[in-house]
Each structure stands twice: as structure tokens, then as C-alpha cells.
Chain A
Amino acid sequence: MAYKPQYYPGTTSVGKNRRKHMSGDLEKLRDISDADVVTVMGHRAPGADYPSTHPPLKEMGEPDCPIRQLVEPTPGAAAGDRIRYSQFADSMYNAPSVPYWRSYWGAINCRGADPGTLSGRQIIEARERDIEQYTKVQMDSEMTDVSLSSMRGCTVHGHSLRLAEDGTMFDMLARTEMGSDGKVSYVKDQVGIPLDKKVNVGKPMSEAEVAKRTTIFRHDNVAFGGAQGARKFDEGLIALHHMWERRSRWGFRPE
């Protein structure tokens, strides 16, 4: 039987969602055009040429190296693109891809990417045309809810704050706005520079929907330690304790 990665333990909806994110088996919920994704990222104008940091690999005459022969370069690396990034902040109020899960998705599913998780934000860096593609997957799929997640290159504050009255995550730079039709639009790019044209990213999910799709354990949704009064640890927690114990033991007594 072929090996099938398990990614993450647990039988709860959160465990299942975490597995989905890590495996990249994601449901596509919306279709944001490439030009709109590029606009919100703000690194180049849509349709403009990709600036490069080195000539295409084919023209460079690479050294004879078995690894280079083995690993096919990503389109961005082959063309010599710049390294660029996209960074998302995701609310702790049941955002679908709370910290670490975008990074795990990136580390497992994106070639030539450098993901990183900080407090309340997740960044993925890659060659420009690669990161544009990876960002589009994130924005189009169930990893993103348009009111609880947003692309924020700087001034990312919002993950652990209460939501605004309209249910959107707090944004100090007011990059997104909720229209009277209930749809969310980006009015600024990820670093807060106003856009010429709004980028409509559609309607947010309902509260029930985000509760179903989230990857965060919360006492008011799916609790880590089971329901109150009926403690039953999720398999994820048992696995975590197991790893913690082993790591501590190895840390203290490596033999």
C-alpha cells in the first residue's frame, strides 16, 4: 500500500481542517483574478514585467551539480525573479487559518517558499511569480475568510483583538471595507497604499461556517480538552503531550 501522510491527529473538525490545510486538499470558495491578487500584494503593477535579480538560469550556465539536475527550478527561480512576500493576519475569532496553518501549508505544499509565523501573522516568501500563485491559492480557498483574514504586509495588529461591529477584524490602516451589499473590498494594498480601484473579494462566511472551517481550538467552539463537564482530550492534545514529554526527556538526557 502506498504511504499516505497523516499530517495531523485528532477526530474533531479542527483536526480535520488542520489536516486539510497541511495536505493542500482545500476547497476553492471564490475566484479572485490574478490582477487583483497582484494589486493587493502591491509589489508590481498588474501586467508589468517581472523585475529580476539575475538572468534566467538557462542563460547563466549553472555549475555541474547533481542536486541542480535533480531539482527542477520553480518558474520564478528559472526566470530569476525577485524574492517577494505576502503576509496574512488571521483573527483568533475562528479565522479559518490561524497562525501556523498557512505556514504549514506553505512549507508542505509550496516549492521554493520560505514561510514564517509570528504572533498573529504569517508570511510566505518566494520568487515573485511563485508567491503570486501561492497567494492566489490562499485567497481563493477556504484558508481565507474575507472578514476574519486579510493581507497585511505591515501594521498587522488584529489577530487577538475583538472584532469590529460589522464582524471584520480590526485593521489600523483600514485596508479593507465592508460595503453596503455585505461584500468586503480591499481599498489599499497590503502595506496601506491606496488602490486606484477597489478589489472586491466577496462576502464573508457566516459565523456558523467559520466555526465549522476554523483551525483554532476555542472554548466556545471546539475545545482542546473536550466539552466542559465531559473532559475528553483531543488526539491532537495527546500527541502534543507525547511530543512534549519526549522532547523534554531528550533535551535533558539525550541518551
Chain B
Amino acid sequence: MVTKSDTETVQIEIFPRRFLNPDTAQRLLDEIYRSGGVLRIMIQGPNLPRAVPYGPGKGLPIEEHKNMLLELGDQAIELRVKVGRIGLELESEEDIEGVRAACERTLPFSFDIKKRQLFHTKPTVSDYAKYGSEVEDKRILGMVDPKAKKERNLAMLSDSRGDS
């Protein structure tokens, strides 16, 4: 029988029943971050383009999607999606309850929390093309889409490695 080590991290996905407004997402992330034990956060959802992508209005700016920032710790990142899922890597199983309590406090509708493997553990071909043969900080694996810009979509909240 395999005994789980005390240091084994756990990955969960928060799936709210509705898409989150930027301010709700901000409040939820603040609460989750405060609850502690968070190693990685990934936000997913449908894209919110900055300009009309197709049709006769192509290229027109979409003012509603501008200047949406998520601030966490001492970092700010531009919100470019409608928040639909939040993936988390936590230090341990015990941290899940803190996240659940944060969701209950913040979300005005129901949500699911599923435990599952969210981030890949080995570099993929896309990672090789993006980061090269040596990935110094393994925490960035699986954090951004292969085509997304790392600098724009990824923020390091702390330099301390989660597993060290």
C-alpha cells in the first residue's frame, strides 16, 4: 500500500454554477489566498476579447473588457477571461476546507469543488517550445495556454518554491 507523504500537494477545481463578475472573482481569490496553503492558482473561462474579432465591426474596441485587473498579494494581472473555473494547487488536503469556506462566504450561488489532477507534471512539447529544454521552476508547467504570453498571463506571488 502506498502511503501518502505529508508533503503531497492536492489539486482542486472550483466550478461555480454561474460565471463570476470581476469583483466577485476578486473577492473570492482574496478569501482563498487568505485561507492559506495555496501554491498555484489558475483561472479559466471564455475569452473576453479587447476588440471585435469578426464581422463588420472587426477591430472595434470593446470598452467593457478593458482595465479589468485581478490583484493578489503584491501582484496585479489583467483579467482576460470571464471567470468560470478556478484551479488550485494546495499544500495539503486540510486546506480544502478553508477554500470551501471561502467559496461559501463569497459566492451567492452553488458551486462544486472537485479534486483532480489539473496541472501536468512533465514538460510537454509545447512547454519545450515555450520554455526550452530546462524548466527551472516546475510550477509554471500547465499554467498558461501554449499560445498565451507567459509575461501577460502569469504572475509569481512568491519566489519561495512550494515544495522546498
The smallest beta-carbon distance between A182 and chain B, in angstroms, is 16
Residue interface bits A78-108, CB-to-B below 8 A is 1, else 0: 0000000000000000000000000000000
Q: How far is the CA of A154 from the CA of B56 in the complex (A)?
A: 9
Q: Is the CB of B19 within 8 A of A193?
A: no
CB within 8 A of B49: which of A42, A162, A172, A188?
A172
B107 to chain A, nearest CB (A): 9
Which residues B42-66 have CB closer than 8 A to chain A? Answer: 46-49, 52-57, 60, 62, 64-65
Check B54 against A165 for contact (C-beta < 8 Å): no
Chain B contributes a number of interface residues (CB within 8 A of A) equal to 25
- Supposing A165-B108, A173-B52 touch, asked if A192 and B18 sit within 8 A by C-beta, the answer is no
Number of CB contacts from chain A to chain B under 8 A: 64
With A162-B18, A165-B20, A165-B21 known as contacts, the answer to whether A174 contacts B62 (CB < 8 A) is yes
Question: Which residues 141-192 in A have Cβ within 8 Å of B in the complex?
Answer: 153-155, 157, 161-165, 170, 172-174, 177, 188-189, 191-192
- Asked, given contacts A164-B82, A174-B64, whether A192 binds B21 with beta carbons under 8 Å apart, the answer is no
Q: Which A residues are in CB contact (< 8 Å) with B47?
A: 172
* C-alpha gap A161/B18 in the complex (Å): 9
Q: Helix, strand, loop or mixed for chain B's interface? A: loop
Known contacts A164-B18, A174-B65, A192-B60; decide if A155 and B82 are in contact (CB<8 Å): no
In the bound complex, residues from chain A placing their C-beta under 8 Å from that of B52 are: 154-155, 173, 191-193
A-contact 0/1 string along B69-93, CB 8 Å cutoff: 0000000000000101000000000
> Per-position contact with A for B12-24: 1 when CB-CB < 8 Å, else 0?
0000111111001
**CB-contact partner of B18 in A165, A172, A177, A191, under 8 A:** A165
Q: How far is the CA of A160 from the CA of B68 in the complex (A)?
A: 25
- Report the interface size class on chain A: 20 to 34
Measured in the bound complex, the distance between the Cα atoms of B21 and A64 in whole Å is: 62
**Hey, which bits of chain B sit against chain A, CB under 8 A?**
16-21, 24, 46-49, 52-57, 60, 62, 64-65, 82, 84, 108-109
6 closest Cβ pairs, A-B complex: A154-B55, A174-B64, A192-B52, A193-B57, A192-B57, A191-B55
Given contacts A162-B18, A192-B52, 12 further A-B contacts (CB under 8 A): A42-B56, A154-B52, A154-B54, A155-B52, A162-B19, A163-B18, A165-B24, A173-B62, A174-B65, A191-B52, A192-B55, A194-B60
